[in-house]
Amino acid sequence: MRLPDSFQKLVDLLADLPSIGPRQAIRLVFYLIHQGQNNIQNLSRATDDLKKIKICERCFFIHQNPGALCDICGNSGRRQDIIAVIEKETDLMSLENTGRFNGCYFILGEISKSGVLDDRQKLRLQGLKSFIEKNLPSPSTNAQGSASGQAEEIILGFNPTSVGNFNASLIEKELKPLAKKISRLGRGLPTGGEIEFADDETLGSALERRG
């Protein structure tokens, strides 16, 4: 059965989104059509406005500020030398909603089930190392006789899964020379769970019990 081209085009785009397959995409498009022209126009304007969204050059979270930094990285009241390394933007939002963390974040990107970092993630990690070395206070001089910055603490905020634990151990080795302390979220998080779906109290306890 041939459907209108505009219908099929939207179905194809929606079907590529996470957790949405072709059947769910078709249902969504029919739903939008039945909502009427006003709702379709509102959705179209909101989607078009996404072009205004920028990615923070430091932590890779979204923002719409005039400069290059998001609200968190650009906030002078936040601890720049305490950095939570996480996978996803939704992990940042979940941790931030606890109201118990006054440091900054670094979004590595969602780790694949293989547990191997892709080129984009490796590049981001290199950028984090460069930021720490060049912008944070130096406790001493390195072997080459030049000063190198060091974070007060780096928190590895990965999901407590086998893949998360594996990558946390690898990234800890990478970042260990650049931090006085490297910690993991406390085990208030259930093994195999995901940060994104944990409640605020559980995440708050995990932050406070990190070690």
Alpha-carbon 81 to chain mean position: 18
CATH architecture of the region 5-52:
Orthogonal Bundle (1.10)
* β-pair partners for 151: 179
| pLDDT, tens digit (0-9, with 9 covering 90-100), for 179-198 | 999 998 866 555 556 777 77
| pLDDT, tens digit (0-9, with 9 covering 90-100), for 32-61 | 999 999 999 999 999 999 999 999 999 999
pTM greater than 0.85: no
**DSSP helix/strand/coil, 141:** strand
Domain boundaries, the chain: 5-52, 68-208
**DSSP helix/strand/coil, 201:** helix
**% the chain with pLDDT above 90:** 68
Q: Give the per-residue pLDDT at 189.
A: 59
CATH number of 68-208: 3.40.1360.10
206's enclosing H/E stretch is helix 200-208
CA angle 134, 154, 118 (to 5 degrees): 80
Q: Give the per-residue pLDDT at 200.
A: 73
What mean pLDDT is predicted for residues 127-150? 79
Q: Give the per-residue pLDDT at 71.
A: 97
Q: Give the per-residue pLDDT at 153.
A: 96
Give the start-end residues of each E strand in 30-91: 54-55, 62-63, 79-86
Q: Give the per-residue pLDDT at 146.
A: 56
| pLDDT, tens digit (0-9, with 9 covering 90-100), for 67-124 | 999 999 999 999 999 999 999 999 999 999 999 999 999 999 988 878 788 999 999 9
